[in-house]
Amino acid sequence: MERVLQSIERMLDSAPRAAQSAAIQGIGIGSAGQIDFSTGTVAFAVDTLPGWTGTRIKARTAERFPDLPVIVDNDVNVAAVAEQRIGAASGLRNFICLVLGTGIGGAIVVDGKLVRGTYGGAGELGHVSVDFNGPRCSCGNRGCLELYASGPGIARIAREGSFSFADSRQVIEAWLAGDSQANQVMDIVIRALASGISGFIHTFNPEAVIIGGGVAQAGERFLHSIRQETERRTSAAMWKAVQLEPAAAGNHAGVIGAALQMWHYSVLELRGEGGAG
Ligand SMILES: [Zn+2]
C-alpha cells in the first residue's frame, strides 16, 4: 500500500504545475481481489497477495491526498471500462471480460453498467466450476475454471500428464509448433474455457466476450480454437448474437480504466451527466 501511495506521489510531482491545478480531478485505482466498492476496501484477496485482504485502499489514499476524491474498483472491472470506451467493446452495452493470467479475472457489463453484486465481488468468473469432481480450489469449490485455463492451471495440467514443460508459456509455444503432448494439454484447456464461456453466454446473452491476459497472447489460433469449441457447446441463437474477441486496450487497460472511472464518477456525476458505467 505504501508503494501505491508513493507512486501516486511521484505521478503528482511529475505532472506539470499548471496541469495539477487545472486537470487532475481525482485518483482512480484498480486492484486485484474482491473490492468493496462503497468503502474501497479489499473484501478478499487470494494468497498470491498475502495480507492484502482487509486493506483500506480508499481510506489510506484519501488520508494521504485529502484534496482529491478517490475511487477504488477491481482491476478487471476497470479494464472492462477501458475496453468499453476505447477497446474491443466500444459501443457495446452487454459484454463479458475474461482475463487469463496468474488467475482468471472477470467483469460483467449489462445494459452498459458493471455488475457489482452486493458488495462489489461479482464477476469472479475464474471460480465458476467446469468440473464438479475436479481438484479442490482455494475458494472451496472443485474444478474451477481458474484451475484449467490460468497460467498456473495450464502448468498443472502439464505436470499431471507428466509432460516436461516448465510453465504455461512453454506449453503454448510447443502447442503453436505442433507438439503432440502440448496438444493434449491445450485440448483440456480449450474445452474447459469453452465450457465456462458457454455458461457465461447462456447466463448473460452478451454481444461480446473479450479475452485478455498473458495466456490470451497465444494469439489468433488460440482464439479460433476457443470459438470452435464454444460454438459446439452453445445454443445457436445465443452463438449468433455473440463475438469472441481479443482485448484491445492493451497492458495499460487497467490504468486507463481506473482514470475513466474517476472521470465518470467525479466529473460527470457532479454535472449530472451520469451515463454508461
Ligand atoms: Zn475457485
Three-state SS letters, 15-46: CCHHHHHHCCCCEEEEECCEEECCCCEEEECC
- Tell how strand 113-114 and strand 41-44 pair up: unpaired
Residues near ligand 1 ion, CB 5 Å cutoff = 127, 137, 139, 141, 144
* C-alpha closest to that of 129 among 154, 107, 147: 147
Query: What pLDDT is recorded for position 214?
Result: 87
In this structure, the strands spanning 243-246 and 208-212 are parallel
Please state the pTM of the whole predicted model: 0.89
pLDDT, residue 263, reads 82
Distance 90 CA to ligand 1 centre (A): 30
**Spatial contact of 189 and 172, defined as CB atoms under 8 Å apart:** no
Hey, what amino acid is at 48?
Answer: T
How many CB atoms are located within 10 Å of the residue 187 CB? Answer: 14
**Tens of pLDDT, residues 42-65:** 999 887 788 999 999 999 999 999
Q: What is the pLDDT of residue 25?
A: 82
**149 CA distance to ligand 1 centroid (A)?**
12
Q: What is the pLDDT of residue 275?
A: 44
Q: Cα separation of 111 and 113, whole Å?
A: 6
> What residues are paired with 252 via a beta bridge?
none
Mapped onto helix, strand or coil, the DSSP state of residue 25 is coil
Distance, CA 135 to ligand 1 centroid (Å)? 10
Question: Which segments of the chain have a pLDDT < 70?
Answer: 16-23, 266-277
Q: What is the pLDDT of residue 22?
A: 59
Q: Rounded to the nearest whole angstrom, what is the distance from the C-alpha of residue 129 to the centroid of ligand 1?
A: 7
Distance (angstroms) between ligand 1 centre and the Cα of 80 equals 21
CA of 144 to the centre of ligand 1 (A): 5
Q: Which three cell numbers stand for residue 215?
A: 495466456
The confidence score (pLDDT) of residue 217 equals 85
Instruction: Tell me, in angstroms, the distance from the centre of ligand 1 to residue 46's CA.
Output: 10
Q: What is the pLDDT of residue 12?
A: 86
pLDDT value of residue 277: 39
- 165/150 Cα distance (integer angstroms): 15
